[in-house]
Chains A and B, each alone.
Chain A
Amino acid sequence: MVVKWMASAALAVLAVQPAQVAAQEAPVQTVAAVPEFAPRADQSAEQGTEFRTLDEDVQDLKKQVLDLNRDLFLLEEELLFPSNTQTAVFVSMDVGEFFGLDSVELKIDGKDVANYLYTEREADALLKGGVQRLFIGNLKAGEHELVAVFTGQGPHARDYRRAASLVFEKGIGPKYIELTISDRESKQQPEFVVKEWE
């Protein structure tokens, strides 16, 4: 009986002890946990707005840089080639059958001023209506002579070399000259014309 009593007492002690240990180990939480972040939906909306603003700023800056670049380019041209001495020569093509352009050599007053080799892509661009500025420079007022030599493949895929010339008067104001290559159906030959823009 004594043994039974001691066993019961021991069991009772053991039952109390874990409760006491549990009470010691488990602190009482009196303060509610505060979440570290704001609710997810609001935050992503704010971030989205911030990115859109940044993106707009970057686009604005890019546009400003491009505009500035363009203005500087125009200013550089005006400084290097003032309109009272500026002379520009352009090339255009209106031909498909009779001439495949390879190169153009340009001389003004006997001096070589331009020598351009055309790639397939560049020749195609001219055929599609592009106009190329072959030369820009400064000339004094007065009479000048321009000679353009065109090299390429003529009718029947034969090597072709032709020259065209123009004597022109450089006055006040810029001078623009166009070298045009076109088909002359009546003669089944290409035609090379040098003309001044009015």
Chain B
Amino acid sequence: MTERMRARWGGAALAGLLAVAGTVSAATELEGQDAPDFVLKSVSGKNLRLSEYRGDVVMLSFWASWCGECRAQLEHLGAMRERYRDAGIELLAVSLDQSARQASEGSAGARYPVLHDAGGEVGRLYDVTTMPVMVLIDRGGVVREVFEGFRRGNDEQYLTEVRALLRE
């Protein structure tokens, strides 16, 4: 291999490494920080502000009606909310759909608050670049964990993390 080829391969490898490093989401950079506050209108018409849930563990889920993984995740999160409601937990499902109608139809039958992020502002605030994203917030309003995507086994992980926060 010539010097020139070595230099090219080295450069390509470095570029690849930087590209991979760059894909680490800034959403995860929120871990350990106060959850950015926001207020959104729910599909039921009420305005809900995140900071008014201080004292509860909050599962903040970003989703869209066209996202299959999102629905699967919300199903698990909804079940956890029902199970641990009395222990002080809430699920806020923030829809990044274009319209409130899509958000409403996509969450028909949901027993948890479904919010519509009309302008995508809250999605940008939390730097949501992939879906679903679940932000786990403790009772003091601090982001403890950010889960990107939903894969097999994630539901067990959610349960472990949520139980730990409820015990605090």
Contact = CB atoms under 8 A, between A and B. Distances in A.
A119 B41 contact: no
Contacts of A119: 39, 46-49, 52
B52 A121 contact: yes
A122 B52 CA distance: 10
A117 interface: yes
A118 interface: yes
Contacts of B39: 117, 119
Nearest to A121: B52
A107 to B, nearest CB: 18
Interface residues of B, number: 8
Where chain B touches its partner, the secondary structure class is: strand
Interface string B30-57: 0000000001110000111100100000
Interface in A121-142: 121-122
Contacts of A102: 47
A184 B14 CA distance: 71
Interface of B: 39-41, 46-49, 52
A124 B92 CA distance: 22
Nearest to A120: B46
A121 B52 CA distance: 9
Residue with the greatest number of chain A CB neighbours at <10 A, chosen from B40, B41, B47, B52: B47
A134 B128 CA distance: 29
Nearest to A103: B47
A149 to B, nearest CB: 16
B52 A117 contact: no
Contacts of B46: 119-120
7 contacts: A103-B47, A117-B39, A117-B40, A117-B41, A119-B39, A119-B52, A121-B52
Contacts of A121: 52
Nearest to B41: A117
Contacts of B40: 117
Minimum-distance CB pairs A-B, first 9: A117-B47, A117-B39, A119-B47, A119-B49, A121-B52, A118-B47, A119-B52, A119-B48, A120-B46
Nearest to A102: B47
Interface in A61-110: 102-103
A25 to B, nearest CB: 58
Contacts of A117: 39-41, 47, 49
A118 B45 CA distance: 12
